Chain A
Amino acid sequence: AQSVTQLGSHVSVSEGALVLLRCNYSSSVPPYLFWYVQYPNQGLQLLLKYTTGATLVKGINGFEAEFKKSETSFHLTKPSAHMSDAAEYFCAVTLLGDNNDMRFGAGTRLTVKP
């Protein structure tokens, strides 16, 4: 079965610094990969997704992620953190085909310091 591991339950950066949130996946077939953000007391909002094609995926709010098959990774980055980026971030995976079982990582809480 597919799974994702998010390295680091908490990440703290200064405003304007690079944001790097790590995600590694495990699957026996080509995966579809997603990053979602969750603000306090809200549902999940899609930041970006990788299905096929270009391995560098650009999303909303200046975030991007690169699918690296050789490293089984899908790390999320943003060149310059903003205070409004403080939230919980979840990496998720589904599989090619009819498997609609989306598996989420445990999440990474991003704190942005002024």
Chain B
Amino acid sequence: DAGVTQSPTHLIKTRGQQVTLRCSPKSGHDTVSWYQQALGQGPQFIFQYYEEEERQRGNFPDRFSGHQFPNYSSELNVNALLLGDSALYLCASSPNLSGSKETQYFGPGTRLLVL
């Protein structure tokens, strides 16, 4: 089992550009969540996808959007990048069996640097 995988591992963009990050969940998992972890801080919840729909969203602007595919993989898109978007972006997957008490398994993250 490969666990949760994310690509790319690192990315450098300039202000105003757009970026797409990708995530493949752990085998058997159908729910994908995305988090932003700024340097020296804990992860912050961006949104969660289940059955190809955004189920819940944290306090992030509409510049952050996502998608889930029929195979449960997911993308995070960020438009009009700001310097403050520089962070480690983590994807987590879980089974939708018992809701919020299910363990979320995290990928290694994509480190985004906006110049």
The interface of chain A, by Cβ under 8 A from chain B, is 32, 34, 36, 41-46, 49, 51, 90, 92, 94-107
Chain A residues positioned under 8 Å from B66 (CB to CB): none
Q: Which of A45, A100, A107 contacts B31 (CB 8 A)?
A: A100
B33 sits at the interface (CB 8 A) = yes
- A91 to B, closest residue via Cβ: B42
Stretch of B11-19, B79-87, B101-109 that contacts chain A: B101-109
Give Cα A43–Cα B103 distance, bound, in whole angstroms: 14
The interface of chain B, by Cβ under 8 A from chain A, is 4, 31, 33, 35, 40-45, 48, 55-56, 58, 90, 92, 99-101, 103-109
Give Cα A107–Cα B41 distance, bound, in whole angstroms: 7
CB <8 Å contact, B56 and A99: yes
Given A32-B100, A90-B43, residue A100 in contact with residue B108 (CB < 8 A): no
CB <8 Å contact, A100 and B41: no
**B113 nearest CB across to chain A (Å):** 14
Give Cα A100–Cα B58 distance, bound, in whole angstroms: 10
Q: Which of B31, B55, B101 is most buried by chain A, counting CB atoms within 10 A of its CB? A: B101
CB <8 Å contact, A101 and B108: no
CB <8 Å contact, A102 and B45: yes
- A selection of 20 A-B contacts at a CB cut-off of 8 Å is A32-B100, A36-B106, A41-B108, A42-B108, A43-B90, A43-B107, A43-B108, A44-B43, A44-B92, A49-B103, A90-B42, A90-B43, A92-B42, A100-B33, A100-B100, A102-B104, A103-B45, A104-B42, A104-B44, A107-B42
